[in-house]
Structure 1
Amino acid sequence: MRKDDYSQEYIILEFALIIQDDSSEDDEDEIKRYAKAKLVISNEESVLQWWKKWSINYPTLDVLARSLLSMPASSCTSQRIFCATGRILEE
């Protein structure tokens, strides 16, 4: 599987396998605390900035959020599409 072909399901599965070894009551407590908390994201900060700010309180969820929300700076797939399109236009 190419790096840019990761699906959301694959990322969640990998996350589950990583924390499976470290799972404890603390992880369950973290999820319960997050679910009960009435947290607000301000308009001035991005979702990733918010998770960085709260990573101390929710370290396990922070790892999952950053995995799902972060975007690569470059995508090989899009570069290949533009390259192929350019060749079609040249012909």
Structure 2
Amino acid sequence: MRKDDYSQEDIILEFALTIQDDSDEDEIEPYAKAKLVISNEESVLQWSKKWSINYPTLDVLAGSLPGIPTSSCTSQKIFSATGRILEERR
């Protein structure tokens, strides 16, 4: 089969059947067993930068944490507004 004869489904199937590298799992076990200390003065991002060579996947994960809202206030407002739309008195 020539390269041009592959369909998109063939490529996706080949990728899905490929044995994936377990290096990410190998990174988590040593992290869980390590006795790492985070000081009160150190932020998650600072700690992540310091240990990024040893734990590159966890570094990426830590970089995504500041994007997670610490409050549910916005979602509460949305659900409250939705509830008012469905009420008979509107």
TM-score scaled by length of structure 2: 0.48
The answer to which structure, 1 or 2, has the higher relative contact order (CA under 8 A, 6+ apart) is: 1
Larger Rg: 2
